[in-house]
Amino acid sequence: MSTTAPVGDRPRPTIVLVGHGMVGQRFLEALAERGLTATHRVVVLCEEPRPAYDRVALTSYFSGKSPEELSMTDMEFIAEHGIELYIGDPAETVDREARRVTARSGLAVDYDVLVLATGSYPFVPPVPNKDATGCFVYRTIEDLLAIEEYANSKATTGAVVGGGLLGLEAAGALKGLGLDAHIVEFAPRLMPVQVDEGGGAALLRTIEDMGLSVHTGVGTQEIVTDESGAVTGMKLSDGSELATDLVVFSAGVRPRDQLARDCGLVVGERGGITVDEQCRTVGDPHVFAIGECALASDGRVYGLVAPGYEQAETAAATIAQDEAEFTGADLSTKLKLLGVDVASFGDAHGTTEDCLDVVYSDARSGLYKKLVIGRDGTLLGGILIGDADAYGTLRAFTGSVPPVAPESLVLPAGAGDAVQLGPSALPDEAIICSCHNVTKGSIRGAVTEHSCATVPEVKKCTKAGTGCGSCVKVLGQLVTAELEANGVTVDKGLCGCFAQTREELYEIVLALRVNTYQDLLDRYGREGARGGDGCEVCKPAVASIIASLAPTIGASGYVLDGEQAALQDSNDHFLANLQKNGSYSVVPRIPGGEITPEGLIVIGEIARDFGLYTKITGGQRIDMFGARVEQLPLIWARLVDAGFESGHAYGKSLRTVKSCVGQTWCRYGVQDSVRMAIDLELRYRGLRSPHKLKSAVSGCARECAEAQSKDFGIIATSNGWNLYVGGNGGATPRHADLLAQDLTDAQLIRLIDRFLMFYIRTADRLERTSTWLERIPGGLDHVRDVVVEDSLGICEELESLMAAHVAHYADEWATTINDPEKLARFVSFVNAPDTPDPVVGFVPEREQIKPDLPLLTIGTRPMEALEGSAQR
């Protein structure tokens, strides 16, 4: 087959890709990496109404991820490489003799190379009424949208046929939608392919404790319907009947090979397009098959994404006339199903002759660990349920003799002779990222040869960690270890004054009740910094720590008291935000966005009397702009007298808790979101933190308050509240993650207390919750373990710290206007306190004011300048 670049007027050879899933997209990337998109015309026929998305993370849609966030397709990449992508237009026929593919729309494309990546389809058992109203499969985003709509409108109970990977995810999704959920599995245990009897038993106990009903060892005989043809139940093989009004079939998948069958390609006895080691179809070198539709040369159809990626690489390399072959792949997998770690690797079931099992089981804790060991000590495989932290290291050791006794590897940390092997013990040829087949040696090379110093840089260089993500923790450990091995000092200190991290300084302040910055610097600062004045990095960071812990450590909670006043960021010095012309904003707190007509009148009168610009913000507040520094106490005296208090728009603290109108007014609302928003804002007002905090409460799943873009957001359900954390709507938007669901009021507040204090305790300076959640080892899973399960035993302390904050809160502006000594700072010039700053000027615009900024010209480039003549 010729794949050389075109010459003269000869048209470019054409590559047609049928199917645009995860494997298809990886194939396109592999073509681009080899320059084939420049020398070939590339046409993609996609059946689904959307381009490639992350099917592995499909269930995260029910945890708040949008279809757009699940997308794996960069349309700029498609355009840059001239790829012709046809969405919703699947291939219907292939004429291999003419080398032509015809799509549903009638589009006909002649090909030089045809690549079939048609994936698989859900297997639905041939039971009566399997197509009844209320029966679904669980495969695409459209399937999930249909399930969600039906569950919200017509169902109270759901049953999943199949207890494998997708079956458990589907059951979790039904439970998250508020349904009573059942799992029906024909095999005697859950996840029969991945886990053994012991692992299945541990998994069963844990899942039943979550409120799901599991029926194993029984099959589905019939779907029962009513007169309208809608589902009302299921008849099972043991003679029992299960009442349900929604059924999801998740009983496995089959290769989508009908297109290949129709055009005469060879398929396997049990399905799958037969291919050789180069992923060429048998009998036609112009046609390739990759992913779940392909029957590999080892006689296996691979249903995991990592082997599909490897097949995509192999096909692209072969088309480019490079040597490559696919002869088999690692079937290891690590998942978190319904919040439970489940992992298997290597020969997990011990099918190898003459092997031994090493097992640790703790039914009370839901832990099950098994290693399969050869007679010569070789690690052959294993199963991990409930705790899969060691998965990355153990999988990499598969096929070799670990440097320690196998029994020490399955014991939990701190138990007996437990050993926690680090990735540094792995050989260079160990595969760290199975999705992209990246070895430890390649990762080390990225650090030493390509000067990568961070995990994101190594990801970009090697692609490690960009697939399923299960190797990211090990990746971080390897990068740090390699940097240190190369003599690079990884200084984790806060700044040049402190060798400790912000988290370590927090622990010192809390444990030793250090309540002044100078005391902390003199006792724990670097040698050259002790006795000095500190720097602009550590002073506000330590000030924030002291303010957060003020009631507990005996410090003043007022940020302008004594030493604290000299430590604050610029805005805190005047309890207001400095604006671009030297004036300040005034932002009173309006909890939950709820305000009385009298409150509106007060704000309007103040804005009128002081000539301020007013604006209603996205945070459901009324901001007033244009106040001179000497006017701030006068304005706040009137606001405090009317019952308003500081909105803390100037501080690294809680800003707002937005809300919709909730069930009180909205016909869709299911909880009182306004009341909850007000309660939360009043509880956490004034809480100093590493960065600003924003929150919102939505009264239903329609999400009018945009809770999932907040540091902590709450969405009402018919059973209570769902708590989301780590959202960010700023320059790098991030969807919040579901921490817990169906909470009572008391449970919700308790978890938010814990979450906020754990964040304040462990975050870096100026680190938003979104960045912190992605940086902290273990991510959301670790945070959930700590604040929900109390894995570190610190929740009582976290709750106590928050209770102290709530009990000792005092409004900063009310404190200020009642103290003449504190009011003395609010002047433009300390040497002329009665003189206003002449630079602060305004001009009219749209019946209000805007800053009057003169244009200065430097060279030929105009720029706005603020004369900073005032001595403040």
Question: pLDDT digit string (tens) for 585-610?
Answer: 999 999 999 999 999 999 999 999 99
User: For residue 109, is pLDDT > 50?
Assistant: yes
- Residue 730 pLDDT: 67
Span 503-548, pLDDT tens digits: 999 999 999 999 899 999 999 998 888 888 888 888 889 989 999 9
- Residue 4 pLDDT: 35
- Residue 416 pLDDT: 46
User: For residue 563, is pLDDT > 80?
Assistant: no
User: For residue 154, is pLDDT > 80?
Assistant: yes
Kindly state the percentage of the chain with pLDDT values over 70.
91
Higher pLDDT, residue 226 or 61: 226
**Apex 209 CA angle, 207 and 210, nearest 5:** 65
Residue 859 CA to residue 200 CA, distance in Å, equals 74
Q: How many Cβ atoms from other residues are within 10 Å of residue 688's Cβ? A: 23
User: For residue 133, is pLDDT > 90?
Assistant: yes
**Residue carrying structure tokens 């754990």:** 758
User: For residue 359, is pLDDT > 90?
Assistant: no
Q: What average pLDDT does the structure give for the chain?
A: 86
**Domain 424-475 classification at class level:** mainly alpha
User: For residue 95, is pLDDT > 70?
Assistant: yes
List the alpha helices (DSSP H) in 763-847: 769-775, 779-787, 795-808, 812-817, 820-823
**CA dihedral for 336, 341, 347, 351, sign (positive or negative):** negative
The verdict on domain 14-121+255-319 having CATH code 3.40.50.2300 is no
User: For residue 108, is pLDDT > 50?
Assistant: yes
The full set of domain ranges for the chain reads 14-121+255-319, 135-251, 330-421, 424-475, 502-559, 653-808
- Residue 403 pLDDT: 76
The two three-digit tokens of residue 531, written as one number: 């006795």
Mean pLDDT value across residues 644-672: 91
Mean pLDDT value across residues 82-96: 95
**Apex 215 CA angle, 212 and 220, nearest 5:** 120
Q: 548 and 554 in contact (C-beta within 8 Å)?
A: no
Query: According to CATH, what is the number of the domain 653-808?
Result: 3.30.413.10
Report residue 2's pLDDT band, with 50, 70 and 90 as the boundaries.
very low
User: For residue 834, is pLDDT > 60?
Assistant: yes
**Domain 135-251 classification at class level:** alpha beta
Phi-psi region of 561 (alpha: psi -120 to 50; beta: other; left: phi over 0): beta
Residue-wise DSSP of 613-636: EEEE-TTS-EEEEEE-GGGHHHHH
Same fold, 135-251 and 330-421: no
DSSP state of 553: H
User: For residue 308, is pLDDT > 80?
Assistant: yes
- Residue 519 pLDDT: 92
**Domain 330-421 classification at class level:** alpha beta
User: For residue 323, is pLDDT > 70?
Assistant: yes
Kindly state the percentage of the chain with pLDDT values over 90.
50
- Residue 470 pLDDT: 63
Report residue 756's pLDDT band, with 50, 70 and 90 as the boundaries.
very high
Residue 562 CA to residue 517 CA, distance in Å, equals 11
Mean pLDDT value across residues 621-642: 93
